[in-house]
Amino acid sequence: MKTYRIGVIPGDGIGKEVIPEGKKVLEAVGKRFGLKFEFTDFPWGTEYYLSTGEMMPEDGLDTLKSFDAILFGAVGDPKVPDHITLHGLILPIRRGFDQYACERPSYLYAGVPCPLVGKKPGEIDLIVIRENTEGEYAPIGGHVYLGTPEEVAVQTAVFTRRGCERVIRYAFELARKRNKKKLVTSVTKSNAQGFGMVLWDRTFREVARSYPDIQTESLLVDAACMDFVRRPEHFDVVVASNLFGDILTDIGAIISGSMGLAPSANLNPERRFPSMFEPVHGSAPDIYGKGIANPLATILSARMMLDFLGEEEAARLIEGAVRKILAEEKIRTPDLGGKATTKEVGDAVVELISQTQ
Ligand code: GGG
């Protein structure tokens, strides 16, 4: 029996509620395909920080290195400032394991209410590739005269030719593989950010020359946000910096029905390190503890994990079960207008997976 070792970090808030559903679904699909998932849970996150002073142990990356993949929930808790929790857990993993390509698909499933008028199922079908290791998230900067009227804060965005080139190339390869509109849209704000983002734009044009079969366009981020709402059906593969990719994918999630349906894959495409799979949503302290968080973003992230591990058939089974549940419009959490609990939705996916011939 093929065994996959999965490091699991539920993290904070609803991360702790949705991750058990993701594991449950992986186990169910494993039974169907003769796959064994050995899960190792790590209690890292804000509670861990409050008792130890760090979000994860110093040797956390060494511990995770030997796993085949990482399943991550969410990070963030009102008890601790977000920049501490984010920079203490998730960002060091993304950077430390060189997970430079973050795939974030947005798809409008049948049965899911769309806030945009007149959109049909499948009409929104785009994928944002978010640069995941540098850009505006680089931990470079500082304060002087902290807390005084003279306080100064400097925050530096980092764009390297290598960093831009590899993520842009990844986007082009994906557009070829998807074989849909064969369009790659690059998003920057190079009229204002005249150094780093000009380097990005130039690199985009250079890489594009190697892909004559793929159409290209470059948009400023404000225009891209507008078009995500006005004509999302236009897009295929979108490649953007760390911050812009993050912002665009919240729009992508909400126009396709809910943050609770948006999965992501933080990939080290060369497979030198484990890749990490997580819902796009955060820890949602406003609903944590009610048992109503939508687990489908996590379940679809588990599906992306299986795809990356080469278990395409198992991945398709999860995708099919999710599609069916959404299309039936019966069992759904409140974000989609239903009354089901997190566990009930997870159970429904498991049941479908177990029954499907
Ligand atoms: N599951 C993703 C998560 O916990 N996100 C919290 C967050 O605010 N992340 C910021 C980011 O990914 O840039």
3-55 confidence digits (pLDDT tens):
999 999 999 999 999 999 999 999 999 999 999 999 999 999 999 999 999 99
Contacts 24+ apart (CB under 8 A), 134-142: 134/158, 134/159, 134/160, 134/163, 134/242, 135/159, 135/163, 135/196, 135/241, 135/242, 135/243, 136/241, 136/242, 136/243, 137/91, 137/242, 137/243, 139/87, 139/91
Percentage of residues of the chain with pLDDT beyond 70: 100
**Cβ atoms of residues 180 and 236 within 8 Å:** yes
Residue 147 reports pLDDT greater than 90:
yes
**Which residue ranges does the chain devote to CATH 3.40.718.10?**
1-99+269-357, 125-255
Residue 26 has a pLDDT of: 98
Residue 356 reports pLDDT greater than 80:
no
Minimum-distance ligand 1 atom for the alpha carbon of 72: 1
Band (pLDDT 50/70/90 cuts) for residue 110 is very high
| Pocket probe mutation, ligand 1, options 8, 12, 71, 75, max atoms within 8 Å of Cβ | 75
Whether 71 is in the pocket of ligand 1, judged by its Cβ within 6 Å, is no
Express each pLDDT in 173-224 by its tens digit.
999 999 999 999 999 999 999 999 999 999 999 999 999 999 999 999 999 9
**Cβ atoms of residues 224 and 185 within 8 Å:** yes
| Pocket probe mutation, ligand 1, options 16, 86, 250, 294, max atoms within 8 Å of Cβ | 86
Ligand 1 centroid – CA 76 distance (Å): 8
Whether 76 is in the pocket of ligand 1, judged by its Cβ within 6 Å, is yes
Whether 307 is in the pocket of ligand 1, judged by its Cβ within 6 Å, is no
Measured CA to CA, the distance from residue 344 to residue 261 in angstroms comes to 16
Residue 357 reports pLDDT greater than 80:
no
Write down the mean pLDDT value for the chain: 97
The CATH architecture annotation of domain 1-99+269-357 reads 3-Layer(aba) Sandwich (3.40)
Which residues, including other chains, have CB under 8 Å from residue 194's CB and lie 6 or more apart? none
Band (pLDDT 50/70/90 cuts) for residue 2 is very high
Query: For residue 156, with 0-12 CB atoms within 10 Å meaning exposed, 13-18 middle and 19 or more buried, which class applies?
Result: exposed
187: alpha, beta or left? (left if phi > 0; alpha if psi -120 to 50): beta
* Sign of the Cα pseudo-torsion (82, 84, 88, 93, in order): positive
- Measured by CA distance, the residue closest to atom 7 of ligand 1 is 282
Residue 116 reports pLDDT greater than 90:
yes
Residue 155 has a pLDDT of: 96
To the question of domain 125-255 being in CATH 3.40.718.10, the answer is yes
Ligand 1 centroid – CA 90 distance (Å): 8
- Measured by CA distance, the residue closest to atom 1 of ligand 1 is 74
Ligand 1 centroid – CA 277 distance (Å): 12
- Measured by CA distance, the residue closest to atom 5 of ligand 1 is 282
Residue 234 reports pLDDT greater than 90:
yes
Express each pLDDT in 324-342 by its tens digit.
999 999 999 999 999 999 9
Residue 133 has a pLDDT of: 98
| Pocket probe mutation, ligand 1, options 72, 90, 131, 300, max atoms within 8 Å of Cβ | 90
Q: Token pair of 176, please?
A: 């070829």
Q: Please count the other Cβ atoms lying within 10 Å of the Cβ belonging to residue 192.
A: 10
Express each pLDDT in 43-88 by its tens digit.
999 999 999 999 999 999 999 999 999 999 999 999 999 999 999 9
pTM above threshold 0.95:
yes
The residues carrying an active-site annotation are 145, 189, 222, 246, 250
Mean pLDDT over 101-113 rounds to 98
Whether 10 is in the pocket of ligand 1, judged by its Cβ within 6 Å, is no
